[in-house]
């Protein structure tokens, strides 16, 4: 049986509302030692993704409370479901040069995230 996204995803992916300030999100990301945050709307649906690189690229502007995740997110990110086979997930990440793919449920709520590091660890632990 092929390994699935659910087998390697981080199930408690950080997700924050789109109106969260970038500075507050950065503090949360650093406290939780994560490199990506899923951005959600008022219904908890995924609408974007922000990486540490996106935030660091802002320079000192990231400390302005007027800059929100909505302003810097990559909208409509590529997502997959928990039952996506790892080879298919790896192919899409390679083809689109993605470092992370949010895993969503049937209502587009983020339930996890798979990063390139997760894939490498899975490959390294394969028999």
Q: Which helix (H) or strand (E) holds 89?
A: helix 86-96
Instruction: Count up the domains in the chain and report the number.
Output: 1
Which tens digits make up the pLDDT trace of 59-86? 877 667 688 999 999 999 999 999 999 9
The pTM is what? 0.89
Mean pLDDT of all residues in the chain?
A: 91
What domain range is 24 assigned to?
5-124
Q: Which residue would you say has higher pLDDT here, 41 or 127?
A: 41
Burial 27-42 (b: 16+ CB within 10 A, else e): eebeeeebbbbbbbee
CATH number at residue 16: 3.10.580.10
Residues 6+ apart with CB under 8 A from 59: none
Question: With 0-12 CB in 10 A as exposed, 13-18 as middle and 19+ as buried, what is 3?
Answer: middle
**Spatial distance between the Cα atoms of 94 and 91, rounded to a whole number of angstroms:** 5
């Amino acid at each position: 049986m092929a390994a699935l996204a659910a087998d390697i995803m981080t199930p408690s992916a950080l997700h924050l509302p789109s109106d969260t300030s970038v500075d507050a999100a950065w503090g949360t990301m650093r406290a939780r030692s994560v490199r990506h945050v899923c951005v959600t709307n008022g219904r908890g649906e995924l609408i974007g993704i922000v990486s540490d690189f996106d935030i660091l690229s802002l320079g000192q502007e990231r400390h302005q409370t007027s800059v929100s995740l909505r302003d810097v997110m990559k909208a409509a990110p590529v997502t997959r479901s928990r039952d996506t086979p790892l080879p298919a997930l790896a192919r899409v990440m390679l083809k689109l040069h993605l470092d992370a793919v949010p895993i969503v449920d049937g209502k587009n709520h983020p339930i996890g995230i798979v990063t390139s590091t997760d894939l490498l660890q899975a490959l390294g632990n394969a028999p």
